[in-house]
Amino acid sequence: MEINHSDMLLMPHGLIGFETCRHWVLLSCLDNDEVAWLQSVALANVAVPVVSPRRFAPNYRAHVHKRELELLHLHAQDQMYVLSVVSKSGATLTANLKSPILLNASRHIAIQVVVTDDQPLAMPLRLSDPVAERPLVSAKRAA
């Protein structure tokens, strides 16, 4: 897969469990528009499924410390998105609302944070096109 440098996201602290992976690309899912994939640039075999938490929890708010937001270099005109990592628990897909990914799409910077309020670590999801039978971490072979 070819990746344009302008499409890369910088995650200064990586993701939980992938702290050394600092460059990622957000890819759409061809099978389901509710899901996207956060693909590591450094590790071709690592891709993490993500969803917009508001699609499943419309009142969701990510309460974080102001100092964490400073890492995103936000300005009033910037486009900000919140994403939740999808996991599989048995046959159920869940979204992690406790540790969302905050994305400043305008500046291509993202951070994963732990919210300061009480949010579920594994909120069950109902996707319109179930992907429960597919692997949630890509295992591509390096060429």
User: Where residue 41 sits, what CATH number does that domain have?
Assistant: 2.30.290.10
Q: What is the pTM of this model?
A: 0.84
First to last CA, the chain: 11
Whether 109 shows a pLDDT value over 80: the answer reads yes
* pLDDT reported for residue 56: 93
Is 38 part of any domain?
yes
Indicate if the alpha-carbon torsion angle 48, 49, 52, 54 is positive or negative: negative
Whether 130 shows a pLDDT value over 60: the answer reads no
Average pLDDT for the chain: 87
Pull the structure tokens for residue 102: 């905050």
* pLDDT reported for residue 29: 84
Is 27 part of any domain?
yes
Indicate if the alpha-carbon torsion angle 60, 65, 67, 71 is positive or negative: negative
Whether 140 shows a pLDDT value over 70: the answer reads no
Domain count, the chain: 1
Mean pLDDT within 79-97: 93
Its domain, for residue 25, covers: 5-124
What's the pLDDT tens digit per position in 25-80?
Answer: 999 888 888 999 999 999 999 999 999 999 999 999 999 998 999 999 999 999 99
CA 108 to chain centre: 13
Is 50 part of any domain?
yes
* pLDDT reported for residue 33: 85
What's the pLDDT tens digit per position in 16-27?
Answer: 999 999 999 999
Is 130 part of any domain?
no
